[in-house]
Amino acid sequence: MGVRLNVAAMTLLVLFASHANAQVFDVTANGAKPNADSTQALLTTWKEACASATRSKIVVPKGVFKVTQALFQGPCKAPIEFNLQGTLQAPPVGGGFKGGDTWIGFEHVDFLTVSGNGVFDGQGKSAWGKKCDHTEYCGKQLPINLRFDFVTNSLVQDVTTLDSKQFHVNVLGCKNVTFHNFHVIAPENSVNTDGIHIGRSTDIKILNSIIQTGDDCVSIGDGSKQIYLTQVTCGPGHGFGIGSLGKYLNELPVQGIFVTGCTLKNTLNGVRIKTWPNSYPGTASDIHFADITMENVGNPVLIDQEYCPWNQCNLKVPSKVKLSNISFKKIHGTSSTPLAVNLVCSSGAPCQNVVIQDINLKYSGSQGPITSKCKNVKPTVGGVQNPAACITSA
């Protein structure tokens, strides 16, 4: 007992000591200046901090610092914190951005903390919906505000991503990363501005966060496992989406998605899983939505295995993505469309083990009574059902 206590006490001491000893690297010491291009100063500071043998803390003080593009690469020698108190501002269209689809990237970093009340301002307004009529931003080349590639054991908290030119945040190949009190802000009419996209990552948590944007608030792609969304508010936006899946060969399974205690406000969709028809094979299982509040939400509960925007696919060939072990529990509030619960599964791979329980939704529009649909699925139904389950079925 005594020995165990001592070990615990020593661990605490070590933790406190290492926190207290974080070596501070202020970007202004390397020449960063408000309202001036501070790209080089940031990169130099990252290099110094990343090489520190002990815990380091990079500080960006208050003020607007212009950054054309910055890739912060690890591995670093010790835990590293990026404390953003001011604003990092991207160039607008015409501002000289050259390379690639990333504005700010963190790559191959272990024990990264991004903190502060600062803002990553992508200045996207100038780019949304632009066709490739400019030498800088063509199609996929629009930069994502924040990329986390192969980042592990990390925390992103209190910061805001504002007006990204496309996706705000992309999480790829990451493990044990938490977003806490994180903010995404862009107007409803911004184009392709998904809040947080997660792919090929394990143990990602989004907690107590607010996402207001023009596309999916959170989108979850193939290879995502153990993803937790808790107390996340979405809206405006297109809701919380898994997929679209099945478009590409060799997609990895999606497994273990838990969306709990979240609120959607005035969004195009609520919670949905979408897969392409005529697709490659794939699987998504163990997906659970619970305690979700809908306020004036379109398609609040949706499985769409006939997802085919712009008619670019053959709807006659069913999706080969297998969906199983899915639950929707305690979903309540208001729908802005009469079809409130719409479960369209694949005729080639009917959904297995779907549970709908305690659904209490209201529709007060003029397009008829609230309704529900089930296709290629026989859900297990429990508790309250407004609308009644599977009013139309096929």
Ligand X SMILES: *[C@@H]1O[C@H](CO)[C@@H](O)[C@H](O)[C@H]1NC(C)=O
List, by residue number, the catalytic residues.
Answer: 215, 238
Site membership for ligand X, residue 155 (CB under 6 A): yes
Q: Which is nearer to ligand X, 88 or 257 (CB)?
A: 257
Binding mask 228-267 for ligand X (x = CB under 6 A): ----------------------------------------
Find the part of the chain contacting ligand X (CB under 6 A) among 5-13, 27-35, 149-157, 205-213: 149-157
Q: For residue 387, is the peptide bond before it cis, meaning its omega torsion is within 30 degrees of 0?
A: yes
Among the candidate windows 123-131, 137-145, 150-158, 375-383, which touches ligand X by CB under 6 A? Answer: 150-158
* Tokens, residue 155: 């925390």
- Spatial CA neighbour of 32 closest among 80, 65, 81, 70: 65
Residue with tokens 């939400």: 297
Which residues, listed in sequence order, are joined to residue 80 by a DSSP beta bridge?
56, 112
> How would you classify residue 218: left for phi > 0, otherwise alpha for psi between -120 and 50, otherwise beta?
beta
Is the Cβ–Cβ distance between 239 and 270 less than 8 Å?
A: yes
Q: Which stretch binds ligand X (CB under 6 A): 83-91, 153-161, 224-232, 272-280?
A: 153-161
Q: Is the CB of 84 or the CB of 112 nearer to ligand X?
A: 112
Does position 325 interact with ligand X (CB under 6 A)? The reply is: yes
Considering only 85, 141, 353, 393, the residue that binds ligand X (CB under 6 A) is 353
Q: Which residues contact 139 (CB under 8 A, 6 or more apart)?
A: 132
Q: Mask: binding to ligand X, 98-137, rule CB under 6 A, as x and -?
A: -------------x--------------------------
Report yes or no: 246 and 275 within 8 Å, Cβ to Cβ.
yes
Rounded distance between C-alpha atoms, residue 9 and residue 73, angstroms? 34
Interface residue with ligand X among 324, 327, 360, 393 (CB under 6 A) is 324
Binding site for ligand X (CB under 6 A): 111, 153-155, 176, 285-286, 324-325, 353
